[in-house]
Amino acid sequence: MNRLGVEPSVTRWTDGEARFLDWTIDGVALRDMEPTQHQTPLFLDDDRWRETAVETLCRLLGDLPGDFDDGRVALLVCPACGDLGCGSYSVEVVFGDDVVEWRAFGWQTDYEPFEDSEVSEDDFTGARFERKAYETLLRDLLSNYRA
């Protein structure tokens, strides 16, 4: 079983920077697995993204449908605007009785269907989390962003 967590991170681009919580899997930041300037919507210092953070957490908990027509959920989005048309790093979330799986990580936009790109042996392709620990982490984050 993998372990999901979050850690503070910063992304920078031409016009600015943003502080946010990045997803970690077994202690490794998602942005280290898939190097990018994109970020999670879990901002640390920008209340304009609070609603997006709440929606993302609800999608990852299965309380709302995914961001895309195929049900996939955006994990990393454009830091400047959050627009899914700019491209996002997304995942298929599958719930079992005791397990939550993140499968088929990949880049997609909201105007084209997701296509699995060629995956090399070194690519991270999925994770399995103990459902109770997963839901506890996400519900704790959700209560913080709703506050």
Residue range 4-146, CATH number: 3.30.2450
pLDDT tens string 58-81: 999 999 999 999 999 999 998 888
Residue 79 has a pLDDT of: 83
Instruction: State the Cα–Cα distance between residues 65 and 137, nearest whole angstrom.
Output: 19
pTM of the model: 0.92
CA torsion, ordered 54, 57, 58, 64, to nearest 10 deg: 100
Mean pLDDT for the stretch of residues 13-28: 90
pLDDT band at 124 (very low <50, low <70, confident <90, very high): low
Residue 123 has a pLDDT of: 57
- The proportion of the chain whose per-residue pLDDT surpasses 90, expressed as a percent, equals 65
- The proportion of the chain whose per-residue pLDDT surpasses 70, expressed as a percent, equals 95
User: Bigger pLDDT: 112 or 4?
Assistant: 4
Instruction: State the Cα–Cα distance between residues 40 and 62, nearest whole angstrom.
Output: 17
Provide the 3-class DSSP secondary structure of residue 52.
helix
* Contacts of residue 56, Cβ cutoff 8 Å, sequence gap at least 6: 40, 41, 42, 67, 73, 74
Comparing CA positions, the residue from 70, 78, 81, 56 lying closest to residue 142 is 56
Domain boundaries, the chain: 4-146
